[in-house]
Chains A and B, each alone.
Chain A
Amino acid sequence: QKEVEQDPGPLSVPEGAIVSLNCTYSNSAFQYFMWYRQYSRKGPELLMYTYSSGNKEDGRFTAQVDKSSKYISLFIRDSQPSDSATYLCAMSAQGGSEKLVFGKGTKLTVNP
C-alpha cells in the first residue's frame, strides 16, 4: 500500500459545480496536510495548509482533515474554468518545510 493514495481522475465538471477531491494515507505520523495546485508545464503552488484534524476555509476553497479515518479532502465551491489544473495532496510528519509525501494528483477540468 502506498503511503498516500489519490484518485488520478480525470474529473470534468461544469462551471459553478462543487468539486470534491480526496486523499487517503496510511502513516499515522502525518500531522501536516497540504494541497498544491499545478497548472500545465508549471511547478506546484501551495493552495491550502492545515495542521492536524479539522477544517480550514479560504475563499472558495475548504480543506478538511479527518485523522481518525486517515482521509483528507479539498472542496472547491463555484468552480471556475481557471480552476482547471492538477491538484496534489501532500503531507508531512514534521511540517511543510520538511520531507513531503505527495499523492499522484487529480486532474480537474472545469468546463465553461
Chain B
Amino acid sequence: DAGVIQSPRHEVTEMGQEVTLRCKPISGHNSLFWYRQTMMRGLELLIYFNNNVPIDDSGMPEDRFSAKMPNASFSTLKIQPSEPRDSAVYFCASSLLGASNQPQHFGDGTRLSIL
C-alpha cells in the first residue's frame, strides 16, 4: 500500500510569496495531522482533521497559516505571505480515527526554505 504522500519534497521561495504544501493520506484513514519540525522546537502539531473537519488548530502559529481538507484523500497547508522564520520541514501524518492502538503514519515531509 502507498504511504502518506507529500508534495513537493523541497520548496525554495522568496519571502512574501504564497506557499502551498500538499498531502495525500493513506487510503481509508480518516484522521490527518500537519506537523512542523525545526531544530529549535522539534516536531510540533499545527492542526489536525477528523473526517475532513478541523478539530484542533491551536498549533497554527499565525493567521498567515491555513489548512484545508476538501475530501478524504487530499489536504493542503498554505502560508501567505511566507517569512524566513517559516523555514522548516513540514510533515503530514494520517491514522484511523477512534482506534486507540493505531499509530500515526508519516510522510517524508516537505523541506521549506524561505529566503
Contacts and interface: CB of A to CB of B under 8 A. Distances in A.
Interface of A: 32, 34, 36, 41-46, 49, 51, 88, 94-105
Q: Which of A49, A97, A103 has the most CB of B within 10 A?
A: A97
A51 B93 CA distance: 21
Nearest to A88: B43
Interface stretch (B14-22, B66-74, B76-84, B95-103): B95-103
27 contacts: A41-B111, A44-B43, A46-B103, A46-B104, A88-B42, A88-B43, A94-B100, A95-B99, A96-B95, A96-B103, A97-B96, A97-B98, A97-B99, A97-B100, A97-B104, A98-B31, A98-B100, A99-B45, A99-B48, A100-B45, A102-B43, A102-B44, A103-B42, A104-B41, A104-B42, A104-B43, A105-B43
Nearest to A31: B100
- At the interface, is chain A mostly helix, strand, loop or mixed? loop
B25 to A, nearest CB: 12
Given A102-B42, A102-B43, A104-B42, A96 B106 contact: no
Given A41-B111, A43-B106, A98-B100, 7 more contacts: A43-B93, A49-B101, A95-B100, A97-B104, A98-B31, A102-B42, A105-B43
Contacts, number: 67
Contacts of A44: 43, 91, 106
Contact of B104 (A41, A96, A104, A105): A96
Contacts of A45: 106
Interface of B: 4, 31, 33, 41-45, 48, 56, 91, 93, 95-109, 111
